[in-house]
Chain A
Amino acid sequence: GAVVSQHPSWVICKSGTSVKIECRSLDFQATTMFWYRQFPKQSLMLMATSNEGSKATYEQGVEKDKFLINHASLTLSTLTVTSAHPEDSSFYICSVSGLATHEQYFGPGTRLTVT
């Protein structure tokens, strides 16, 4: 399967600032990337789906102006949490998928804490 990395693995930021999280597919051409968030003791909730070179498709209830997603290449997608607030504190996980596979390969996640 694909090897997926995320950077940073954890970040603490102050309320009102923006944070960028990177998701890299190290050995796989990721035509599609997914961003999830996971609250403690809860399931992964899909935030958005992005196809390389296209605008992301956001799930209902996810603010696209707050969670900016860029998928400029087959190996990199970024999620920017703008004007972060404490309620945005969560575990953010990306996954990748390719044209020839129905599987998703997951990154290790990024723990965001907004103070």
Chain B
Amino acid sequence: AQSVSQHNHHVILSEAASLELGCNYSYGGTVNLFWYVQYPGQHLQLLLKYFSGDPLVKGIKGFEAEFIKSKFSFNLRKPSVQWSDTAEYFCAVRSGGGNKLTFGTGTQLKVEL
């Protein structure tokens, strides 16, 4: 069975710091990759996704992620975080052409002023 690992469970940054959240998956075939964000008290929202093509994908709110097939990774980045980026971030993978998502355990990001 496939799995998704998010290595950072809690991250605390100051505003304007750069962010990189790790995501690795275990599946050798074709994958679709997603990053979701959950702001406090709100539902999961899609930040960005990778299906095919350019491995560097740009999402909303200045986030981007890079798919590195050889490393089975899809790390999320943002050059300069804001206090409003405080949220929980989930990496998710869909594989084998199905429609099921497998989620990582999430990373709680806190941005301090």
Residues of A within 8 A of B (CB): 1, 4, 32, 34, 41-46, 49, 93, 95, 97, 102-104, 106-109
Contacts and interface: CB of A to CB of B under 8 A. Distances in A.
B100 A49 contact: yes
A108 B106 contact: no
Given A44-B90, A103-B46, A106-B44, 7 more contacts: A32-B99, A34-B101, A41-B105, A43-B105, A95-B44, A104-B101, A109-B43
A106 B43 contact: yes
B89 to A, nearest CB: 12
Contact of A1 (B46, B51, B90, B99): B46
Given A97-B99, A102-B32, A4 B90 contact: no
Contacts of B4: 43
Interface string B73-113: 00000000000000000100010000111111110000000
Given A102-B51, A102-B94, A44 B103 contact: yes
Contacts of A107: 43
Contacts of A97: 99
Given A108-B42, A108-B43, A103 B49 contact: yes
Contacts of B44: 44, 93, 95, 106
A114 B38 CA distance: 25
B8 to A, nearest CB: 13
A74 B27 CA distance: 32
Contact of A46 (B46, B90, B101, B105): B101
Contacts of A102: 32, 51, 94, 99
Contacts of B46: 1, 103
Contacts of B105: 41-43
A4 B44 CA distance: 11
A43 B101 contact: no
A46 B100 contact: yes
12 contacts: A43-B4, A43-B90, A43-B106, A44-B90, A46-B100, A49-B99, A97-B99, A102-B94, A103-B49, A104-B101, A106-B45, A108-B43
